[in-house]
Amino acid sequence: MLGIGFFVVFVGLWGAVTYGGVVPPLFLASPGQALLAGVALFTEYGFIHDIGMTVWRVLGGFGLAAVVAVPLGLAMGAYKGVEAFFEPFISFARYLPASAFIPLLILWAGVGEAQKLSVIILGSVFQIVIMVAVIAGATRIDLVEAAYTLGARSSGILRRVIIPAAAPQVMEALRLVLGWAWTYVIVAELIGAQSGIGHMIMDSQRLLDTGQMIFGIVVIGIIGLVTDFLFKALNRRLFRWAALA
């Protein structure tokens, strides 16, 4: 309840400065205008299609990144040799801002879906690798030793100890990176896109429609909140043991 309270305060302040005339509507639409703009977006401009495109790009890019990054991260955490080989490069690569690659990616991949996905992949893959490697590397050594004394070999240690031990935290890391993927997709859509929430926001700027822009931003926030909630619920279901004190 306290959490909802601040939303109310926030919208209240927003309403006060806009309805009160402190900020002219040209720069900031009132909550009512934003809501009306939102209705128009859905009924007249097919905004649901933009949302669908953006969601698909995020999930596609993030999914591809995770499919590559999680196994690599686990291998790095489990085997010192693999870590020594990849770690320096990935530590370097993860500081490269994904958005700085957008011009280059447009040159390589055009302005189509491949470019949008590439931005998200570039932005998430190295982060996931490093986080998963750290998690897998921190597997309790006494559990690994216990597995050895029960006859497990190297492959069994990875499959039956390191992976299940790391799984809940890996899912948490993915949840975090998914949030970042949302910022990358919008950045990618601001430049050279024909659809998507970011594209709509860009279009609205040309029309000086702050109501639509704000509504678009709020929609991103809501989708983020919902995916976060779903991710958490999934983790609780999958890893009931980890939730125990």
Partner 1 sequence: MTLTIRAVTRTFPGQGKTGPTLALQPTDLDVAPGEFVSILGPSGCGKSTLLRIVAGLDRPSGGSVALDGRGVTAPGPERGMVFQSYTLFPWLTVRQNIEFGLRERKLPEAEVRAVSDKFIARTGLRGFEDHWPRQLSGGMQQRTALARALANDPAVLLLDEPFGALDHQTRELMQELLLEVWGADSPEARKTVLFVTHDIDEAIFLANRVLVMSARPGRVKAEVAVPLPYPRDWTVKTTPVFAELKARLMAEIREEVRKAALA
Binding mask 155-174 for partner 1 (x = CB under 8 A): -x---xx--xx-x-------
Residue 119 contacts residue 102 (beta carbons within 8 Å) = yes
Of 25, 107, 105, nearest in space to 61 by CA: 105
Per DSSP, which regions of 68-144 are E strands?
Answer: none
Of 138, 148, 12, nearest in space to 74 by CA: 138
Closest CB 156 distance from partner 1, rounded Å: 6
Q: Which residues of 26-41 are buried (b: 16+ CB within 10 A; e: fewer)?
A: eebbbbebbeebbeeb
Of 237, 232, 222, 127, nearest in space to 175 by CA: 232
Instruction: Output 110 or 164, the one with its CB closest to partner 1.
Output: 164
Closest CB 139 distance from partner 1, rounded Å: 11
- Please tell me whether residue 43 binds partner 1 under the rule CB under 8 A: no
Percentages helix, strand, coil for the chain, rounded to the nearest 5?
85, 0, 15
Query: Exactly one of 1, 2, 107, 244 binds partner 1 (CB under 8 A); which one?
Result: 244
Query: Exactly one of 149, 206, 207, 237 binds partner 1 (CB under 8 A); which one?
Result: 149
Spatial distance between the Cα atoms of 11 and 134, rounded to a whole number of angstroms: 40
- Count of residues in contact with partner 1, rule CB under 8 A: 24
Residue 170 contacts residue 135 (beta carbons within 8 Å) = yes
Tell which positions 111-140 bind partner 1, by CB under 8 A.
Answer: 140
Instruction: Output 49 or 159, the one with its CB closest to partner 1.
Output: 159
Stretch that binds partner 1, among 62-70, 182-190, 214-222, 237-245 (CB under 8 A): 237-245
- Please tell me whether residue 150 binds partner 1 under the rule CB under 8 A: yes
Spatial distance between the Cα atoms of 121 and 67, rounded to a whole number of angstroms: 11
Write out the H or E segment, with its range, that includes residue 79. Answer: none
Closest CB 241 distance from partner 1, rounded Å: 5
- Please tell me whether residue 5 binds partner 1 under the rule CB under 8 A: no
- Please tell me whether residue 152 binds partner 1 under the rule CB under 8 A: yes
Which residue ranges make up the site for partner 1 (CB under 8 A)? 140, 142-143, 145-153, 156, 160-161, 164-165, 167, 239-242, 244-245
